[in-house]
Structure 1
């Protein structure tokens, strides 16, 4: 009788106290689970990265160039969405920052806060990015912070052109917003030397930004569009 009582007591204890293992690490904001947990725990989700829809994501450079009055970040995204050379599938946003509506990092390569430093950033962590015109050509694989810190595996585009970005990259990769060089959040097509840009034929950090040179608002440059 005593053995039966002890057995039933043990069963009741396990029923009340034992819980299934928690397989979600909320601190891992590079995982889908972590992002969802952070969203639930933080009412202000503006800085959190979106869950990527593509695992191997494509990049293309707009067929048309534009002056620096892009209509802001929203206008730049719209230009990617309506570009004549946009692939027939996928959602695309412009790799361009203004530190208010879109931001990559607030510390060099996001080493302090990781993806929590970002605002509506277009690169996802640990993701392969390829040329849209030739998906066999990998441009880079982003790190856990959703940026790239190595030379590109291949060029962004075989055709050399300038791309508006607003990134600093001084003297190498840093993914900081180049303060004062986003052409008034990409609404100024008049002021001289107001915007930072990269060149698509280079494979170092100058592919995203040439720190030593900036361009005037009237300059015609393209946009780098990234699949989401």
Structure 2
């Protein structure tokens, strides 16, 4: 009998030190803590795309020309940031695509998916872009962050600019994946990169039709303020 009392006493002592089990399931919205969890969880943001720091924004053609080994997209961005034409203020990136690290569109003028088609694209939707040198308006982007009209004026004195944009007869903004000079690391291959010529005011300013630059060709970079 004493053994039973001892066991009962031990059981009571053990239970006094027990913590109440937490049977609340946060995923159960009918339980108290489930409702609290639902009330205090962070909302998912479906807001508009992030606006650039500049508005309006500026653009310039690099003072320095380069062969197609730009050390990739990031290397081209660095070249924009240290170019003699860059002002003291502002962040500038290269209008240059390789379809992996930077992309404008996967459909013509982003007509299918809009800005969801883009990767680290440098032109923001519905922003006016001005020449840094002349302060003249060049273009105002559309809601997809591209442009399909005629530039208000030329970007600069005639020079070639590496872009990687598909050179269709009209505006397209898709990457010419066969002509990015191996993601802008090749200064040897012939006809490896697409380029534009800044003296044009139509799509040829970004991508010359039916012409490609050799890897060793010296072209400039179009730098866009962010």
Question: Structure 2 length normalisation: TM-score?
Answer: 0.79
| Contact 1:196/1:211, CA 8 A, preserved across alignment | no
Matched residue, 1:192: 190
Matched residue, 1:201: 199
Matched residue, 2:105: 105
Aligned equivalents of 1:126 and 1:169: distance in 2? 24
1:54 Cα shift? 0.5
Matched residue, 1:140: 139
For the pair 1:114 / 2:128, whether they are aligned, the reply is no
For the pair 1:34 / 2:48, whether they are aligned, the reply is yes
Give the gaps of 5 or more residues in structure 1.
Answer: 1-24, 27-32, 36-49
Where do residues 17-96 of structure 1 align in structure 2 (5 Å cutoff)?
26=46, 33-35=47-49, 50-96=50-96
Matched residue, 1:165: 163
**Larger Cα-atom Rg:** 2
1:168 Cα shift? 0.8
For the pair 1:124 / 2:124, whether they are aligned, the reply is yes
1:134 Cα shift? 1.7
Matched residue, 1:155: 154
Matched residue, 1:19: none
Question: Structure 1 length normalisation: TM-score?
Answer: 0.78
CA deviation string 1:117-168 (max 9, x = no partner): 0000000000000000122x100000000000001011111x1100000001
Instruction: Report the RMSD for the aligned CA atoms in angstroms.
Output: 1.3
3-state DSSP of counterpart to 1:34: coil
Matched residue, 1:17: none
CA deviation string 1:161-184 (max 9, x = no partner): 000000014110010101210000
Aligned equivalents of 2:161 and 2:200: distance in 1? 12
Give the gaps of 5 or more residues in structure 2.
Answer: 1-44
1:209 Cα shift? 0.3
